[in-house]
Structure 1
């Protein structure tokens, strides 16, 4: 499995949410609305989710293994940092 494309759909200057991202896997499967979140110690990715009937958030899609989660997070954060760098050098 390879991450074939990462698209930063929206950069956000909020205190927690930093970006909304789409990922394409193997050129065959797209996952939209992955959020780049500022955690206490680092940035991380939150998978697309929805409110359940009891008010909790449930992931709509999520990686089963930690290796796949890390692969997605690494690709997303690399593109996020590249987008920040492009914005900084464009100014």
Structure 2
């Protein structure tokens, strides 16, 4: 696996430890967005994208963020389950959406992203600097034209069957009449 692109969005006026958001592209095929570059005690480090965890309201069953005081649906006061030992109530607030499975992968991401972060800090000093973070990831027609002719657009070959929708009544009638 190769990190083929890193995009950084600097957070200039952030009052907390968040210094930048980042997205990485793996093998020119897969994008992971919303990695965070945070000031740690030993310098900047990369935090994986995460989501805030939820728990169900005891009255209506609607999902609410953990540590919410009231239900967003029915307004019931939520129970404080922070010190609960039950398995269905996590004691953490966030869960990773994507994360490396081994230390080698984590180190590869960390080194590449922090290197690009420092380069982006230097680019930001130049006049007319604009972050590429929000640019589209779609491949343009010009890039497709110059692409390797050995690469294939599809993994499977298209079927040359009729243009009927696969679940139409005609296709069901035909499948019933055909011997199995």
> Aligned pairs, how many?
89
Task: Tell me the secondary structure at the aligned position of residue 23 of structure 2.
Answer: strand
RMSD between aligned residues: 1.2
Partner of 1:66: 103
The answer for the alignment partner of 2:31 in structure 1 is 30
Could you tell me the TM-score, scaled by structure 2's length?
A: 0.47
Q: Higher relative contact order at CA 8 Å, sep ≥6: structure 1 or structure 2?
A: 1
Indicate the structure with greater strand content.
1
After the TM superposition, which parts of structure 1 deviate over 6 Å for at least 4 consecutive aligned residues?
Answer: none
TM-score when scaled to structure 1?
Answer: 0.90
Match of 1:4 in 2: 4
Larger radius of gyration: 2
Query: Take 1:76 and 1:50, find their aligned partners in 2: how far apart are those partners?
Result: 21
5+ long unaligned stretches in structure 2: 56-65, 67-92, 128-180
Q: How far, CA to CA, are the matches of 2:35 and 2:53 in structure 1?
A: 18
Q: Which 5+ residue runs of structure 1 have no aligned equivalent? A: none
